[in-house]
Amino acid sequence: RKEVEQDPGPFNVPEGATVAFNCTYSNSASQSFFWYRQDCRKEPKLLMSVYSSGNEDGRFTAQLNRASQYISLLIRDSKLSDSATYLCVVNMRNTNAGKSTFGDGTTLTVKP
Amino acid sequence: DVKVTQSSRYLVKRTGEKVFLECVQDMDHENMFWYRQDPGLGLRLIYFSYDVKMKEKGDIPEGYSVSREKKERFSLILESASTNQTSMYLCASSPLSSPLHFGNGTRLTVT
């Protein structure tokens, strides 16, 4: 079983739709959580951190459920420019450095 | 703004060559990482470093080595390149337990 699992999609949605991605992690010692966005043939870029109380950044809402070991990303009012791959990232802190484990990503295509 | 710079965007090497991939960050971050990304396999950690001259193996270190002689620079070395090392290589840096900042990647082709 992978440490971090995501539904690969693809998710194909019309503009204006609301779409949600889930991500599960297996290690209960995981400490910090992030969503990254990766455009085709580009590097991943941080979209938002995920806090225990949930957090929102414009049209994007992230939530964390430690008991069930999953995080989610909700995108409201989808735009064409939201088309990308969304990567779930889980950090564990070992004795020397934080180690990030990436999900394989969920591909979103927003269509006119 | 954090800047992570990888020395080459595209690289073509022959089987058996020694290959150096260089990465420099300008934010005095303690941690630096090398990942490779392949279709269907996602991002996989090769090596990481939490301090000068310190390194730890990631999930797929075989066939690779690293060097961190200065805090800002982290080099990935392919001792004898093989075709199965054709991939996108991504360097990243971060302060401790903070999000990673990636360079724009090196697409390596080994023929």
- Predicted confidence pLDDT, tens digits, chain B (111 residues): 779 999 999 999 999 999 999 999 999 999 999 999 998 888 999 999 999 999 999 989 999 999 999 999 999 999 999 999 999 999 999 987 678 999 999 999 999
Nearest residue on chain A to B100, alpha-carbon basis: A46
pLDDT of residue B79: 94
Which residues contact residue B43 at a Cβ distance below 8 angstroms, ignoring those fewer than 6 apart?
A: A44, A87, A102, B35, B36, B37, B90
CB contact under 8 A, A44 and B43: yes
Q: What band does A82 get if pLDDT is binned at 50, 70 and 90?
A: very high
Which residues contact residue A2 at a Cβ distance below 8 angstroms, ignoring those fewer than 6 apart?
A: A26, A103, A104
Residue A83 has pLDDT above 50, yes or no: yes
Q: What's the whole-number mean pLDDT along residues A77-96?
A: 86
Q: What's the whole-number mean pLDDT along residues A61-75?
A: 95
CB contact under 8 A, B99 and A46: yes
Q: How far is A64 from chain B (nearest CA, A)?
A: 16
Residue A92 has pLDDT above 80, yes or no: no
Residue A46 has pLDDT above 50, yes or no: yes
Q: B74 with B68: CB under 8 angstroms?
A: yes
Distance CA B33, CA B68 (A): 11
CB contact under 8 A, A100 and B100: yes
Q: Which residues of B touch A104 (CB under 8 A)?
A: 40-42
pLDDT of residue A95: 46
Q: Does B1 touch chain A (CB under 8 A)?
A: no
β-bridge mates for residue B34, sequence order? B47, B91
Structure tokens at A100: 């990030």
Burial A35-74 (b: 16+ CB within 10 A, else e): bbbbeeeebbebbbbbeeeeeeeeebbbbbeeeeebbbbe
Percent of chain A with pLDDT over 70: 95
Rg (CA), chain A: 14
Percent of chain A with pLDDT over 90: 75
Residue A94 has pLDDT above 60, yes or no: no
Three-class secondary structure of residue B84 per DSSP: helix
pLDDT of residue A4: 92
Q: What's the whole-number mean pLDDT along residues A43-51?
A: 94
pLDDT of residue A93: 66
What is the overall mean pLDDT for chain A?
91
Residue reference for tokens 């080994």: B110
CB contact under 8 A, B94 and A44: no
Lowest mean pLDDT among A1-5, A80-84, B28-32, B101-105: A1-5
